[in-house]
Amino acid sequence: MDRTQIDAQLLADCHYLGALPQSQVLLQRNAALPWFILVPDTRLNDVLDLPDEHSHAVIAECAAISGFIKRALGFQKVNFAGLGNVVAQMHLHIIGRHSADPCWPQPVWGNLPAGETYTLAQLREWQQALVKIAGLEPSAL
Q: How far apart are the first and last CA of the chain?
A: 18
For position 132, what pLDDT does the model report? 96
For position 84, what pLDDT does the model report? 83
Q: What are phi and psi of 43, to 5 degrees?
A: -95, -5
Residue with the larger pLDDT of the pair 125 and 1 = 125
Label residue 1 by pLDDT band (50, 70, 90): very low
Pairing of strands 77-81, 35-40: unpaired
Q: C-alpha angle 77/83/89, rounded to 5°?
A: 125
Can you give the pTM of this predicted structure?
0.94
Query: What is the third-level CATH fold of 3-138?
Result: HIT family, subunit A (3.30.428)
For position 115, what pLDDT does the model report? 84
Residue 4 in this model has a pLDDT that exceeds 80 = no
